[in-house]
Structure 1
Amino acid sequence: MKKYLIPISLTFIVVAFLLGFVEIDKNSISNKDLEHGITYGISKIPTDLKNTTTLTKRDEDVICSVSKGLVSKDIDNKIMPSLANEINQSKDGIEYEFKLKDDIFWSDGTKITPNDVVTFFKELLKEEDEENISALLDVYGAKDFKEEKTTFEKGVAITIKDNGVIIRLNKKNDNFLNELSNPQYRIRKYLIMWSNIKNNYNKLVYSGDYIISSFDDQQIKLKKNIHNNNNSISNINIIKDNSVELSMASFEIGERDIVVDPPQSELNKLNSEGKLITVPKTMGAYLVINNKNDTIPLQGRRYIYKNVSKALEDYESLNDKRFELAEGSYFREDKNDLTKLQSRKVISNKEEEWNNAKILTLLCKDNNDNRELCRCIENWFKNNTGIFIKYSLVKDEEFEDQELQKRYDMILINNDANTLNKKEFYSQLNNYLSESEKEKLLNQNYNLKNNIYENIESNLFENYRILPLVFYNENIAFSNNISNIKLDGNGNIDFVSIK
Structure 2
Amino acid sequence: MKKYFLCIITFSFIIIFCLGFINKENGNVSNNTMDETISYGINEIPEDLEKVTNLTKYHEDIICAVSKGLVSKDENNKITPMLASDVIKDKDGIQYEFKLRDDIFWSDGSKITPKDIAEFFKELLKEEDEKNIQALLNVYGAKEFKEGKVVFEKGVAINETDNSIIIRLNKKDDDFLNELTKPQYRLRKYLIMWRAIQNNCNKLVYSGDYKIDSINKDKIVLKSNSNEAKIGNINIFSDNSVEASMASYEVNERDIVINPPETELSKLLEEKKLITIPKSNATYLVFNSKNNAIPLQGRREIYNDICKAMEAYQNANNKEFDLAEGSFFREDKQDLTKLQARKVVSNKEGSWDKPKILTILCEDSNENRIICRSIQTWFKENTNITVKYSLVKDEFEDQELKKRYDMLLVDNDANESKKQNFYLNFKEYLSDNQNKLLEKSINVKQNQDFSNLEEDLFDNYNILPLVFYNENIAISDKAGKLKVDGNGNIDFSSINSN
Both proteins in one fold, TM over 0.5: yes
Deviation at 1:307, TM superposition (A): 0.8
Measured in 2, the distance between the counterparts of 1:138 and 1:440 equals 28
- Report if aligned partners of 2:34, 2:230 keep a CA contact under 8 Å in 1: no
* TM-superposition CA deviations, 1:406-444 (whole Å, max 9, x none): 111111111111112222222322321235555665679
Question: Aligned in 2, Cα 1:245/1:90: closer, same or farther, shift over 3 Å?
Answer: same
Measured in 1, the distance between the counterparts of 2:471 and 2:432 equals 35
CA RMSD of aligned residues (A): 2.1
Counterpart of 1:235 in structure 2 is 233
Counterpart of 1:272 in structure 2 is 270
Bigger CA drift: 437-446 or 93-102?
437-446
Counterpart of 1:9 in structure 2 is none
Equivalent position SS for 1:77: coil
- Report if aligned partners of 2:42, 2:238 keep a CA contact under 8 Å in 1: yes
Counterpart of 2:367 in structure 1 is 369
Deviation at 1:204, TM superposition (A): 1.5
Matched, 1:262 2:254: no
| Residue identity matched to 1:432 | Y
- Report if aligned partners of 1:248, 1:259 keep a CA contact under 8 Å in 2: yes
* TM-superposition CA deviations, 1:61-104 (whole Å, max 9, x none): 10100000001112222211111112111122211111111221
- Report if aligned partners of 1:330, 1:468 keep a CA contact under 8 Å in 2: yes
Q: % of aligned pairs identical?
A: 62
- Report if aligned partners of 1:326, 1:469 keep a CA contact under 8 Å in 2: yes
* TM-superposition CA deviations, 1:113-144 (whole Å, max 9, x none): 10110111112122222222222222222223
Measured in 2, the distance between the counterparts of 1:297 and 1:275 equals 47
- Report if aligned partners of 1:34, 1:481 keep a CA contact under 8 Å in 2: no
Counterpart of 2:465 in structure 1 is 468
Deviation at 1:267, TM superposition (A): 0.4
| Residue identity matched to 1:203 | K
Equivalent position SS for 2:76: coil
Measured in 2, the distance between the counterparts of 1:420 and 1:449 equals 13
Question: Aligned in 2, Cα 1:313/1:190: closer, same or farther, shift over 3 Å?
Answer: same
Superposition map of 1:301-450 within 5 A: 301-395=299-393, 397-435=394-432, 437-438=434-435, 446-448=443-445
Deviation at 1:172, TM superposition (A): 2.3
* TM-superposition CA deviations, 1:175-197 (whole Å, max 9, x none): 22122111111011122222222
- Report if aligned partners of 2:295, 2:352 keep a CA contact under 8 Å in 1: no
Counterpart of 1:455 in structure 2 is 452
Measured in 1, the distance between the counterparts of 2:108 and 2:342 equals 58
- Report if aligned partners of 1:140, 1:169 keep a CA contact under 8 Å in 2: yes
| Residue identity matched to 1:229 | N
- Report if aligned partners of 1:441, 1:452 keep a CA contact under 8 Å in 2: no
Measured in 2, the distance between the counterparts of 1:294 and 1:497 equals 53
- Report if aligned partners of 2:209, 2:229 keep a CA contact under 8 Å in 1: no
Counterpart of 1:134 in structure 2 is 134
Counterpart of 2:171 in structure 1 is 171
Question: Aligned in 2, Cα 1:441/1:102: closer, same or farther, shift over 3 Å?
Answer: same
- Report if aligned partners of 1:440, 1:452 keep a CA contact under 8 Å in 2: no
- Report if aligned partners of 2:61, 2:489 keep a CA contact under 8 Å in 1: yes
* TM-superposition CA deviations, 1:337-395 (whole Å, max 9, x none): 22222211221122334433110111111111110111000001111111110001112
| Residue identity matched to 1:294 | N
Matched, 1:148 2:148: yes
- Report if aligned partners of 2:63, 2:183 keep a CA contact under 8 Å in 1: yes
Equivalent position SS for 1:294: coil
Counterpart of 1:86 in structure 2 is 86
Bigger CA drift: 193-202 or 101-110?
193-202
Measured in 2, the distance between the counterparts of 1:322 and 1:420 equals 23
Counterpart of 1:158 in structure 2 is 158
Question: Aligned in 2, Cα 1:402/1:95: closer, same or farther, shift over 3 Å?
Answer: same
Q: Aligned pair count?
A: 466
Counterpart of 1:115 in structure 2 is 115
Equivalent position SS for 1:102: coil
Deviation at 1:34, TM superposition (A): 8.3
- Report if aligned partners of 1:291, 1:297 keep a CA contact under 8 Å in 2: no
Equivalent position SS for 1:270: helix
- Report if aligned partners of 1:61, 1:492 keep a CA contact under 8 Å in 2: yes
| Residue identity matched to 1:205 | V
| Residue identity matched to 2:431 | S
Measured in 2, the distance between the counterparts of 1:256 and 1:344 equals 45
Question: Aligned in 2, Cα 1:459/1:491: closer, same or farther, shift over 3 Å?
Answer: same
Measured in 2, the distance between the counterparts of 1:353 and 1:243 equals 48
| Residue identity matched to 1:147 | E
Measured in 1, the distance between the counterparts of 2:439 and 2:142 equals 22
Deviation at 1:154, TM superposition (A): 2.5
> Runs of 5+ in structure 2 lacking a partner?
1-31
Measured in 2, the distance between the counterparts of 1:191 and 1:354 equals 62
TM-score by length of 1: 0.89
| Residue identity matched to 1:404 | L
Counterpart of 1:4 in structure 2 is none
Match of 1:283 among 262, 281, 284: 281
Deviation at 1:280, TM superposition (A): 0.4
Equivalent position SS for 2:453: helix
Question: Aligned in 2, Cα 1:317/1:237: closer, same or farther, shift over 3 Å?
Answer: same
Measured in 1, the distance between the counterparts of 2:55 and 2:437 equals 31
- Report if aligned partners of 2:75, 2:486 keep a CA contact under 8 Å in 1: yes
Matched, 1:482 2:494: no
- Report if aligned partners of 1:303, 1:352 keep a CA contact under 8 Å in 2: no
Equivalent position SS for 1:207: coil
